[in-house]
Amino acid sequence: MSDRKGLPGGCLCGGVRFLMTERPMGVVNCHCGQCRRFHGHVGAYVTVPHDTVVFDADATLSWYRSSDFARRGFCGRCGSSLFWKEDGNPHLEIAAGSLDQPTGLATLRHGYVADKADYYDIADGLEQFDGSVSELP
């Protein structure tokens, strides 16, 4: 993938590898209970149009229907949390931790802070929203 322009990423074992051909604006942290359980802590995501994500390896990619309106993608071999996809939405949310470093990205804001866990504080001075928030304007 190094000969193509974009931001690459993948899972821990390499069974899923992808390239985002469109650069995201930044990272949004989600503090909802589903993201905390899926990631083991805060969900940090970037958003790009789904059709700008090119897969070089996806043999181990599995999807789990986590609600009546969305599903979550993960590696079925190593268990890495990778994606969140809302039904009917042309965008794909990609776990920021799955991106190869350096990304050059910064965290933009926090969503679902009303649902955050009690064991941490959000003290970075960024915008906080009680419910859903997107990276997109």
Quick one: pLDDT band at residue 134, thresholds 50, 70, 90? confident
Structural domain includes residue 62: yes
Structural domain includes residue 66: yes
How much is the pTM? 0.92
Q: Identify the residue whose tokens are 């650069």.
A: 23
Task: Read off the amino acid at residue 43.
Answer: G
Domain coverage including residue 45: 7-115
Query: Is the CB of residue 82 less than 8 Å from the CB of residue 54?
Result: no
66-121 tens-digit pLDDT: 999 999 999 999 999 999 999 999 999 999 999 999 999 999 999 999 999 999 99
Structural domain includes residue 133: no
Structural domain includes residue 83: yes
Structural domain includes residue 61: yes
Quick one: pLDDT band at residue 53, thresholds 50, 70, 90? very high
Structural domain includes residue 26: yes
CATH number at residue 97: 2.170.150.70
Q: How many domains does the chain have?
A: 1
Query: Is the CB of residue 81 less than 8 Å from the CB of residue 96?
Result: no
Token couple for 88: 């009917």
> Could you count the other beta carbons within 10 Å of the beta carbon of residue 44?
21
